[in-house]
């Protein structure tokens, strides 16, 4: 999968359907020669040569042609201050105080397998034969800094991962910017797709044409955040779900990030992704090294839908870890929207009894069980039971719930602290803060400085003390504010810009310790809904609460956007008491995800109970198809404000489930839905009417839904099996 042509001095990295080519140019500069559909040869040098015609581009005096310049060449990993005036991937401040950085090729290694990037989360291999890795060692001769570029190429999935390691020489240096990936494209005829949002409206698809200059997305909130997601795609202007070049990039990182595209005067595009350099810095002493987060690259010429399916397959099999990677997850009901803070043991047990009669597996007790927590003004950090609310403690509650035949789960917000808490009164210096400034407060809480080992130990021990003593089988891990006045009492001023990255490393460490201590617990991440829905979190929790917005119509755009990169099995989705649509549509939308309930089961009508039992039966019936099948977005609410549709098709094309929703009634009423992903040569039985159709007919002529769903909020599922 990875070869080196010594004569051409060219590396060729091949997945099944794509090629990525790197060349060692004059003076040992590394050039990005090609990324796209698979090609058999690698003699691409003529295509990479670009005569300088920018504004006074400098030339290396040793280049074979005076018009060649790093300012116009397609640099594989461009550096700051050494002649390339475009956006740079690496800037290191040396002992002289300048940030001129210039790395050149030294050597390389090609081997089977893939190295660990721990303590960072990363894509792993199930066996060494899944992928090959290329390490390119480079050096800045002046500073002695060595920079290793890592590339891992998968043989069955059209994906490549990239990361960078910087190792200090004899003299201390400061990293001021370090990106995980850079790609130079010889064109700018792309649309830039990103996922923007806010609380309760996360990951909305935005698509715009690239323009000259720098455009991009970023977070400096301390976490990936609601506003932008660390995913982007470049798609040809004529690209669709099923046709055209699509390049996707996703950062396996939960902290401040940046993904930017720069289009220069010549119509070329540079795409970089990595840690946001704003408020970032990292001091390296002699011999120390720094590892960047991992970036995942996907290319396909089969459109945006296939790009998403490649991400989904990779993340399902090589990112999600632990017991629930493949084991069926418990179907749960969460107490939050049913009770908020107003509950006691008897109320929760009554929920459990009713939920059990409906076929639900687990009761989750949300916020309000600890300290003196009866509202959101206090007790975060005090992870001991509120026995005024839960008489007999958690032990009695868990035993009563278990005796009904229900599993039990619990809510935590480990990285937060309330000013009204025993923990804050004992350790006021443990919150994130900087000297001489009053810390901002949000949602009545501060952020704990989990960059500190003593803080992490305290929280781990408190959580361990509760979880280890009781039969708790699920943990919802929340994070309900972003970071301001970012600083740690333990960091010296020359390392103050290390805080944000150290905070994320601390979070990963805490999650790693807990998931290893309790390997049978299902962890679900949350952050004001979907405010920390990223690939880094998926290494510790196989599912993430997609949004606090459980309205099924609003959920459609959220789930469509999330699916651009993340598989259905990761998307926490529940049926709630929202009355905007009937129970059927609420269930149909939530079925595209982990599925569960967010309501008071004791208030359901008899008709609603019948509907719930039917939905639970369908959850079990379609579980494997939805969790492991290929997703096909048929009608995207980004393009159509009236209707949307999607489907799941098994890998062998023998089974499919399609869902359509009327968001707003259209005047004509005519609704013929063309399916996708089927085998055109197979014949399929429609479970609803018993009719048999060819895959070709279903995909080219479609299914007439005009008289099946017509009004606002109507929906239908269509289940097909090959005959």
512-524 average pLDDT score? 98
pLDDT band at 363 (very low <50, low <70, confident <90, very high): very high
Outline where DSSP puts E strands in 541-679.
Answer: 543-545, 571-572, 575-576, 596-598, 630-635, 643-649, 655-662, 672-673
Q: Are residues 222 and 120 in the same domain?
A: yes
Q: Are residues 499 and 564 in the same domain?
A: yes
Residues 147 and 256 in one domain: yes
Asked if 637 and 622 sit in the same domain, the reply is no
Same domain, 623 and 522: yes
Helix (H) or strand (E) holding 312: helix 303-318
Please tell me whether residues 299 and 360 are part of one structural domain.
no
Same domain, 578 and 691: no
User: What's the total number of domains in the chain?
Assistant: 3
Task: Give the distance between the most distant pair of CA atoms in the chain.
Answer: 83
- pLDDT tens for 13-57 read 999 999 999 999 999 999 999 999 999 999 999 999 887 777 888
Terminal CA-to-CA distance of the chain, rounded, Å?
38
> Which of 79, 71, 39, 66 is CA-nearest to residue 55?
71
* Cis peptide upstream of residue 658 (ω within 30 degrees of 0): no
Show the tokens assigned to 672. 């013929």
Domain with 339 in it: what CATH number? Answer: 3.20.20.70
> Could you give the 3-state DSSP secondary structure of residue 252?
strand
Domain annotation covers residue 325? no
Indicate if the pLDDT at residue 538 is higher than 90: yes
Model confidence over 585-631: pLDDT tens digits? 999 999 999 999 999 999 999 999 999 999 999 999 999 999 999 99
DSSP state of 527: B
DSSP3 helix / strand / coil % (the chain, rounded to 5): 25, 30, 45
Residue 431's SS3 state is strand
Residue 296 included in any domain = yes
Taking the C-alpha atoms of residue 77 and residue 184, their distance in angstroms, rounded to an integer, is: 9
**What's the distance, CA 395 to chain centroid?**
35
Residue of 149, 143, 132 whose CA lies nearest to 81: 143
In a domain, 171, yes or no: yes
Of 598, 628, 658, which one is at a domain's C-terminal end? 628
DSSP 3-state of 552: helix
Task: Report the candidate in 345, 326, 343, 327 with the shortest Cα–Cα distance to residue 335.
Answer: 343
How far is CA 222 from each of CA 31, 257, 498, rounded to the nearest angstrom?
A: 33, 9, 12
What amino acid positions are annotated as catalytic residues?
A: 478, 548
User: What was the pLDDT predicted at 209?
Assistant: 98
CA 457 – CA 141 distance, rounded (Å): 42
For 416, the domain range is 330-628
Q: 701 pLDDT exceeds 90?
A: yes
**Three-state DSSP state, 712:** coil
Look up the pTM and report it: 0.98
């Amino acid at each position: 999968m990875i070869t080196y042509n010594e004569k051409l001095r060219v590396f060729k990295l091949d997945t099944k359907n794509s090629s990525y080519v790197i060349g060692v140019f004059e003076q040992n500069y590394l050039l990005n020669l090609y990324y796209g559909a698979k090609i058999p040869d690698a003699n691409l040098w003529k295509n990479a040569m670009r005569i300088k015609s920018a504004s006074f581009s400098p030339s290396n005096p040793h280049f074979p042609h005076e018009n060649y310049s790093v300012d116009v060449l397609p640099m594989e990993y461009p550096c700051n201050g050494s002649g390339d005036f475009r956006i740079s991937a690496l800037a290191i401040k040396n002992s002289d105080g300048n940030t001129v950085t210039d790395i050149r090729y030294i050597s390389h290694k090609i081997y089977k397998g893939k190295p660990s990037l721990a303590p960072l989360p990363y894509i792993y291999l199930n066996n060494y034969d899944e992928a090959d890795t290329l390490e390119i060692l480079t050096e800045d001769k002046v500073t002695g800094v060595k920079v290793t570029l890592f590339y891992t190429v998968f043989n069955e999935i059209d994906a490549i991962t990239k990361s960078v390691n910087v190792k200090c020489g004899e003299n201390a240096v400061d990293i001021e910017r370090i990106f995980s990936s850079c790609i130079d494209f010889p064109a700018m005829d792309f649309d830039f797709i990103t996922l923007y949002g806010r609380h309760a409206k996360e990951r909305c698809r935005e698509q715009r044409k690239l323009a000259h200059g720098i455009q991009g997305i970023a977070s400096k909130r301390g976490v990936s955040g609601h506003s932008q997601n660390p995913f982007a795609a470049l798609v040809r202007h004529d690209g669709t779900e099923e046709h055209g070049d699509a390049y996707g990039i996703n950062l396996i990182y939960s902290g401040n990030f940046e993904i930017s595209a720069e289009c220069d005067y010549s119509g070329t595009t540079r795409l970089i992704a990595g840690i946001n350099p704003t408020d970032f810095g990292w001091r390296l002493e002699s011999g120390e090294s720094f590892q960047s987060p991992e970036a995942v690259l996907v290319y396909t010429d089969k459109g945006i839908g296939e790009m998403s399916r490649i991400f989904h397959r990779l993340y399902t099999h090589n990112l999600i870890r632990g017991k629930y990677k493949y084991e069926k997850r418990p179907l749960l009901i969460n107490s939050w929207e049913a009770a908020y803070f107003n509950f006691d043991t008897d109320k929760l047990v009554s929920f459990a009894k009713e939920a059990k009669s409906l076929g639900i597996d687990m009761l989750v007790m949300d916020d309000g069980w600890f300290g003196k927590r009866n509202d959101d003004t206090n007790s975060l950090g005090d992870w001991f039971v509120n026995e005024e609310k839960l008489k007999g403690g958690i032990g009695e509650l868990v035993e009563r719930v278990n005796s009904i035949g229900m599993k039990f789960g619990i809510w935590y917000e480990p990285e937060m602290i309330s000013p009204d808490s025993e923990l804050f009164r004992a350790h006021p210096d443990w919150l994130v803060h900087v000297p001489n400034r009053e810390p901002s407060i949000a949602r009545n809480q501060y952020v704990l400085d989990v960059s500190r080992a003593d803080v992490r130990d305290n929280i781990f021990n408190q959580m361990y003390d509760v979880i280890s003593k009781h039969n708790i089988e699920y943990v919802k891990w929340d994070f309900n504010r972003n970071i301001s006045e970012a600083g740690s009492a333990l960091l010296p001023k020359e390392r103050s810009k290390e805080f944000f990255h150290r905070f994320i490393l601390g979070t990963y460490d805490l999650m790693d310790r807990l998931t290893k201590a309790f390997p049978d617990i299902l962890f679900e991440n949350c952050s004001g809904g979907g405010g920390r829905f990223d690939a880094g979190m998926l290494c510790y929790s196989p599912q993430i609460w997609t949004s606090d917005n459980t309205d099924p119509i609003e959920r459609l755009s959220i789930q469509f956007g999330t699916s651009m990169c993340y598989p259905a099995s990761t998307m926490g989705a529940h049926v709630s008491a929202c009355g905007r649509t009937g129970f059927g549509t609420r269930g149909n939308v939530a079925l595209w995800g982990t599925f569960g309930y967010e309501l008071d089961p004791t208030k359901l009508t008899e008709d609603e109970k019948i509907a719930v039992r039917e939905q639970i039966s369908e959850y079990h019936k379609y579980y494997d198809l939805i969790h492991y099948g290929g997703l096909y977005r048929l009608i995207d609410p980004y393009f159509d404000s009236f209707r949307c549709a999607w489907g799941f098709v098994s890998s062998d094309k023998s089974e499919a489930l399609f869902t359509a929703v009327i968001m707003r009634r259209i005047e004509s009423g005519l609704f013929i839905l063309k399916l996708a992903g089927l085998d055109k040569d197979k014949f399929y039985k429609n479970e609803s009417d018993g009719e048999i159709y060819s895959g070709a007919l279903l995909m080219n002529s479609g299914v007439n839904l005009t008289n099946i769903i017509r009004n606002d909020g109507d929906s239908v599922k269509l289940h097909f099996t090959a005959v």
